[in-house]
Structure 1
Amino acid sequence: MTAKPLAEQAGPLREGLARYFRRRVPDPAEVDDLVQDVFARIAARDSAEPIGHLGGFVFQVAANVLADRGRRRFSRKADAHVPFEPDRHGDEDFDPYRLLAGKEDLRLAVEALLELPPRTRTIFVLHRLEGRKTREIATQLGISVSAVEKHMIRAMQHLSVIRKGRV
């Protein structure tokens, strides 16, 4: 008479595993996947050593699966993900007219930036695109904070006129 495979012996513990995961995982959709991971690990076990207490072994594997899930979620920053919302994120990403309009807007913006005097353009890029603080830009360029603010006003006025006039 042959012994049942370990995963088959652990089968009756399936419902207990599901309860274990339901109490510890907020998303009920993950429970079946986690139970399956436990059985996959048990089935992949290389050792032919007998297990003294099968229930304890299965729940130790379950604890390891849960810990691995936590590490994966942390390293992939799973809690920072935002669900896809068509109204917010748009569902026409590959609309050719939208792509063409975006490329045209970008071309006009670059053209408008290139029309600015070099120092004004540099200040605008440092502040708006690189996120530098006004005081930091003033120190870097050796000018006053007031001068940086005046360059920013000039750049914004120029870009708003260009946008209204061309787009």
Structure 2
Amino acid sequence: MGRKPQDQTSRETLAREAGPVRRWLTGYFRRRVRDDDEVEDLVQDVFTRIVARDSEESVGHLGGYVLRTAASVLADRARRRAVRRSDLHVVLDTDRMGDDELDPERVLSGREDLHAVTAALLSLPERTRTVFVLRRLEGQRHADIARHLGISISAVEKHMVRAMRHLSAEMEKRDGA
């Protein structure tokens, strides 16, 4: 089945009120979104949803409908960000990280470092390694790790200290060799 066309009155109303609505939406999203680059995308998403709505009924109160749609777009954005954990993403600083081509020697050195860290991690006792991985790689809190493993928070802290000391000593041995 195809999409039902909107009635002409509804389209004319949308066209006539698009300018003020766009300005209002821009302000609405700027107050709620930190990234100005996203504001225009969100405004466009609202208009796309309004135009694509599958209904022959005209909108009774356009302002209320736009507000509900904008809130829905914002909620969808929040869900996407939560799923993608985009709040944890870090912008690549090319000044610090460099944007040079990868030097084969640097790649080899990086691989050797990775193998050394992996070997050092694998040489830890299993519980200490598990605590370290849950904390440093998974980002879990000490209390959550303690609850998950059935140990005290103090024990989690002691395992972390043991792991850090061991890894530091292993890396110092490697760098000194």
TM over 0.5: yes
1:55-99 per-residue CA deviation (whole Å, 9 max, x = no partner) reads 211111111111111122222222222221235545347322211
Task: Give the distance between the partners of 2:77 and 2:46, measured in 1 at CA.
Answer: 12
Which residue of the other structure, out of 79, 84, 106, is the alignment partner of 2:87?
79
Task: Give the distance between the partners of 2:44 and 2:32, measured in 1 at CA.
Answer: 16
Q: Secondary structure at the match of 1:3?
A: helix
**Residue 97 of structure 1: aligned partner:** 105
Structure 2 residues without counterparts, runs of 5 or longer: 1-7, 133-161
Query: How much has 1:36 moved relative to structure 2?
Result: 0.4
Are residue 8 (structure 1) and residue 7 (structure 2) matched? no
Which residue of the other structure, out of 17, 42, 48, is the alignment partner of 2:25?
17
Higher gyration radius (CA): 1
Q: Secondary structure at the match of 2:125?
A: helix
Task: Give the distance between the partners of 1:123 and 1:103, measured in 2 at CA.
Answer: 16
Sequence identity (%): 44
Task: Give the distance between the partners of 2:31 and 2:174, measured in 1 at CA.
Answer: 59
Aligned residues between the structures:
135
Indicate how the Cα distance of structure 1 residues 163 and 78 shifts in structure 2: closer, same or farther if over 3 A, else same.
Answer: closer
Task: Give the distance between the partners of 1:106 and 1:61, measured in 2 at CA.
Answer: 48
Asked if 2 retains the 8 angstrom alpha-carbon contact of 1:10 and 1:58, the reply is no
Give runs of ≥4 in structure 1 deviating > 6 Å: none
Are residue 164 (structure 1) and residue 172 (structure 2) matched? no
Task: Give the distance between the partners of 1:31 and 1:164, measured in 2 at CA.
Answer: 52
Indicate how the Cα distance of structure 1 residues 9 and 58 shifts in structure 2: closer, same or farther if over 3 A, else same.
Answer: farther
The two structures have a TM-score, normalised by structure 1, of 0.61
What is the CA RMSD across the aligned residues, in angstroms? 3.7
**Residue 144 of structure 2: aligned partner:** none
Q: Counterpart of 1:91 in structure 2: which amino acid? A: D
Indicate how the Cα distance of structure 1 residues 76 and 93 shifts in structure 2: closer, same or farther if over 3 A, else same.
Answer: farther
Q: Counterpart of 1:64 in structure 2: which amino acid? A: S
Task: Give the distance between the partners of 1:35 and 1:122, measured in 2 at CA.
Answer: 48
